[in-house]
Amino acid sequence: MIGREEILKVLKRALGRAEGPTEILFMGGRSELTRYTKSQIHQNVAQEDFTVYVKVVEGTRVGVARTNQLAEEAIAAAERKAREIARRQPENPHFPGLLGPQEYTPTETYCETTARFGPDRRAEVLKKIFAKAAEKGFEVAGSFSVSEWEVALANTEGLEAYQPVTGAEIGLVVMSEEGIARADAFSHDVEHIDFDSLAAKAIARCELDRGKIELPPGEYTVILEPACLAEVMMWLSFTAFGSESYLSGQSFLSGALGERSMGENITIYDSAWEPEAQGLPFDLEGTPKRKVVLIERGVNKGVVFDRAGAKKAGAEPTGHAGPPGSPWGAIPWNLCMAPGDSSLEEMIASCKRGILVSNFHYVNGYLDTKRALMTGMTRYGTFLVENGEITQALANLRWTESMLKAFSNVVAISREREVFARGGAFFSIVPAMMIEGFTFTGVQRG
């Protein structure tokens, strides 16, 4: 870690040499990764890297250049290049100018324990997991990573922002001769991950995943575990809830704010202040993050905006800008689905006949974004539920479904939610869900 004082000192020194309005963003740090297969660690890697984005302004024209050096001359060279780029750009009537000093509501994203959780500590955790799997004759593959990074932002208008972040992420794929199961966990604090429960879940599911049968295509009651919802939420970030998809008319929210699109038990929002995990208190333009309700009790309520998108839409920025030059505009960083009053066990117990899905795979959310129509496969354990019990493992199934339809037919949502990382301080927080009439279109063979 370089630290707030040192990074901002370098950035402000570079800004003092700038020819005109300039903003500099620093993002980077250190990550370590342990990979394993057949219950053996086969790789430990570490990298330390950062990117410095230099954004310059010429009237309403903007240019961006990057460097991976903190030396003054390297940043100065990037500033000259960015200014040359800006002078070749057309005027942008929606550019709102650089932001001045701001105040931020603090978030907790850094844990020293995670930063110090080296390869020996990770190996100790994995040794216990491998031993538990071996008791059943199973093997484990996957990865276990820890990261420590920081983001700093300063500009010639006096804006200064800084936030350190740590993250621990583990994925366990447990395999037998017949079956396979997966379990994942993420936390800013590695000590908040319950490795024993995570391993026990994956091992138990792998034990069930044998003697697979095929189920014909059709509409079924489905119980989706949180990993499935995290995949859906990731796609909706880009196709529905972001500024570009909304302004371009591709989102189902476009021209439909205030209308009902989902069931009354569905509320989706973006928040950096959830108890399960917290995000950055500002975006990469320095705008303070806001909690944004996207769907409230099934009604379309809003989208997230960066400053240019907000000006174009006649709205207020919500603090969701990406790095300079990002083609995505603003997207939700910390997308959450409100919990319900059930549990995964209660959903299974109440199901007369349905399908339990552990994970989605190969999802494509671009089929028809106005209907949130998606397709994908099931993976890492798909099971038939009959009369409140898991009775049979199933071959993986192809599904094709409108999420607007699916989220209009939800009959139960779990109280507990899980966190799924999308990188550092970017994640989804989602429950499990039971849906009536979910469409499966085929069976995976071979």
> How many C-beta neighbours within 10 Å does residue 196 have?
12
Residue 316 pLDDT greater than 80, yes or no = yes
Mean pLDDT of 146-165: 98
> How many C-beta neighbours within 10 Å does residue 255 have?
11
Which residues, listed in sequence order, are joined to residue 421 by a DSSP beta bridge?
A: 427
Euclidean distance between CA atoms 64 and 50, whole angstroms: 16
Cα–Cα nearest to 45, from 60, 34, 59: 34
Q: How far is CA 231 from CA 39, 224, 272, 374, in A?
A: 27, 11, 19, 11
The pLDDT of residue 423:
73
Q: Indicate the average pLDDT of the chain.
A: 96
pLDDT in tens, 211-220: 999 999 999 9
User: 376 vs 1, which has greater pLDDT?
Assistant: 376
Mean pLDDT of 48-71: 96
What CATH number was assigned to the domain covering residues 4-205?
Answer: 3.30.2290.10
pTM above 0.85, yes or no: yes
Euclidean distance between CA atoms 197 and 348, whole angstroms: 19
Q: What percent of the chain has pLDDT over 90?
A: 97
Residue 321 pLDDT greater than 70, yes or no = yes
Residue 93 pLDDT greater than 70, yes or no = yes
Domain with CATH 3.30.2290.10 in the chain: 4-205
> How many C-beta neighbours within 10 Å does residue 415 have?
13
User: What is the band of 326 on the pLDDT scale with cuts at 50, 70, 90?
Assistant: confident
Residue 446 pLDDT greater than 70, yes or no = no
User: What is the band of 424 on the pLDDT scale with cuts at 50, 70, 90?
Assistant: low
The answer to whether 319 and 283 are in contact (CB under 8 A) is yes
> How many C-beta neighbours within 10 Å does residue 435 have?
23
